[in-house]
Structure 1
């Protein structure tokens, strides 16, 4: 889910469309909402001197948007060579099959049901197209099939919904699991410490220029929310809706259904660890 808290490293006037790094550009999908922020960021990634591009998350099934992505690639003097998905939620993946028709490309994803072509994606895979290198980083938790893509040449990571450009994300119970999500955040933190990643290219919201600060914020936020949920249970609240009303009282009620998914994930996590 999204929230009002501003992430560290979120610059004023941050890029929400067009070029974001030397190799990555955004085409913003026209699907704004409380859950999708300004809309879905469809990413076009390519080496500056290459005529081939990789598109990550074509977005919703919106013909105008999909054609706008194709047009943006062509205007840069390139063609789409491959389509990748960070995960299967409709606002990221629903348009993938139609986009594949428009471009004649394969679609690679962790979930076999989302793939078009013979190749999937998994931990440790390296996608190389037109001289571009993208390293596949498993980041389950938001969903079981969530992936991130490390773009070492730009010291950047494309995070899908694992880290957003504004606010925080939902752990989409029961598919999403809090323990997995915390492990994924720690994995992303390692990229910032060990691999020099300093930029987050998110699935929604603006680019973040302090990747480590953003991930640390997410880890602290999750620890705080988990403590609040544990306290609510200790005070006698038992159902997820009761906990949401207590812990998320200051959050816009339109986000409470998403908050309930995260609370259910937190309750499962506490139970699994013998804390409730």
Structure 2
């Protein structure tokens, strides 16, 4: 059972979390967006889904209560539950045409969902500053090709986007890159992690090491399944049904994506072979 997350919560003197009000199997309680800084102008990390009036109203009320405005938006990656709210921020005059929308580049023709706006592209290790907060961009691909985390120097805290969730485990596009990004975050030795979904992680080094261990264990389960089936090749979804048998069927499709990422990683390593969409161990 997921923990309860308030719709608006002052987490520290420089961080307010505003929940995206878009709960679901992949978004958990909803997307966590964060208002960061201590001055009259602050940065907003991520924007939630498009067309969620409750989120916009909560954010607007928070800004009014604190008598602050948004001076820049920082986006951890391209997924719609993180960039989707941009057009609603603009429509409700919470940002303007002059408000920077900071993001790591995904492709050259990438545009926000409001044609009047455009992205300002970030670089790895770039520093973003607002009154009361200094954040360093940490390029952390794997969940997506353009994923970043943000290291806030004042508190030695990381805004992890979807690289690390507060509950459960994350999906990813490229397992090789994802594992490297997890280790990168461990090596930073953060004191706290503010995830894109789920509760705040107060012991992040141990938590992220669990992520790494979990992925390694999952790979061992996939290998064991392939050994059981050998020499008959099997489809990835058959592996999902065996390995994720205790997981709700509604999550089997994203689980299948994870399994395929593991299989493709092992294919690069020469450990498995693909034959007409079916997989077999290269050698026992």
Same fold (TM over 0.5): yes
Tell me if the contact between 1:87 and 1:109 (Cα under 8 Å) persists in the aligned partners.
Answer: yes
Matched positions, count: 257
Could you tell me how far 1:143 is from its partner in structure 2? 1.0
Instruction: Provide the rounded CA distance (Å) in 2 between the counterparts of 1:147 and 1:257.
Output: 25
Tell me if the contact between 1:25 and 1:45 (Cα under 8 Å) persists in the aligned partners.
Answer: yes
Counterpart selection for 2:251 from 255, 271, 276: 255
Could you tell me how far 1:123 is from its partner in structure 2? 0.7
* Alignment-derived partner of residue 69 in structure 1: 59
TM-score when normalising by structure 2: 0.85
Q: Greater relative contact order (Cα 8 A, min sep 6): structure 1 or 2?
A: 1
1:178 maps to 2:167: no
Could you tell me how far 1:16 is from its partner in structure 2? 7.0
* Alignment-derived partner of residue 233 in structure 1: 226
Tell me if the contact between 2:127 and 2:136 (Cα under 8 Å) persists in the aligned partners.
Answer: yes
1:55 maps to 2:52: no
Instruction: Provide the rounded CA distance (Å) in 2 between the counterparts of 1:275 and 1:107.
Output: 42
Provide structure 1 residue ranges, at least 5 long, that are not aligned to the other structure: 7-11
Could you tell me how far 1:247 is from its partner in structure 2? 0.8
RMSD (CA atoms):
2.0
Could you tell me how far 1:63 is from its partner in structure 2? 3.0
Tell me if the contact between 1:108 and 1:117 (Cα under 8 Å) persists in the aligned partners.
Answer: no
Instruction: Provide the rounded CA distance (Å) in 1 between the counterparts of 2:6 and 2:30.
Output: 13
Could you tell me how far 1:157 is from its partner in structure 2? 0.4
* Alignment-derived partner of residue 11 in structure 2: 20
Q: 1:156 to 1:225 in 2, by over 3 A?
A: same
* Alignment-derived partner of residue 81 in structure 1: 71
Q: Deviations over 1:102-125 (max 9, x none)?
A: 221221111351464462112111
1:106 maps to 2:100: yes
Give the alignment of 1:30-179 within 5 angstroms. Answer: 30-47=21-38, 50-61=39-50, 62-101=52-91, 102=93, 103-104=95-96, 105-111=99-105, 113-114=110-111, 116-117=117-118, 119-171=120-172, 176-179=173-176
* Alignment-derived partner of residue 279 in structure 2: none
Query: Who wins on radius of gyration, i.e. which is larger?
Result: 2
Instruction: Provide the rounded CA distance (Å) in 2 between the counterparts of 1:240 and 1:16.
Output: 38
More helix by share: 1
**Bigger shift: 226-235 or 116-125?**
116-125
Tell me if the contact between 2:164 and 2:170 (Cα under 8 Å) persists in the aligned partners.
Answer: yes
Tell me if the contact between 2:111 and 2:118 (Cα under 8 Å) persists in the aligned partners.
Answer: no
For the residue of structure 1 that corresponds to 2:35, the secondary structure is strand
Instruction: Provide the rounded CA distance (Å) in 2 between the counterparts of 1:118 and 1:155.
Output: 27
TM-score when normalising by structure 1: 0.87
Instruction: Provide the rounded CA distance (Å) in 1 between the counterparts of 2:162 and 2:220.
Output: 23
For the residue of structure 1 that corresponds to 2:120, the secondary structure is coil
Q: Deviations over 1:136-171 (max 9, x none)?
A: 011111111111111121221011111001010111
Q: 1:14 to 1:211 in 2, by over 3 A?
A: farther
Instruction: Provide the rounded CA distance (Å) in 1 between the counterparts of 2:6 and 2:37.
Output: 18
For the residue of structure 2 that corresponds to 1:153, the secondary structure is coil
Instruction: Provide the rounded CA distance (Å) in 2 between the counterparts of 1:189 and 1:158.
Output: 13
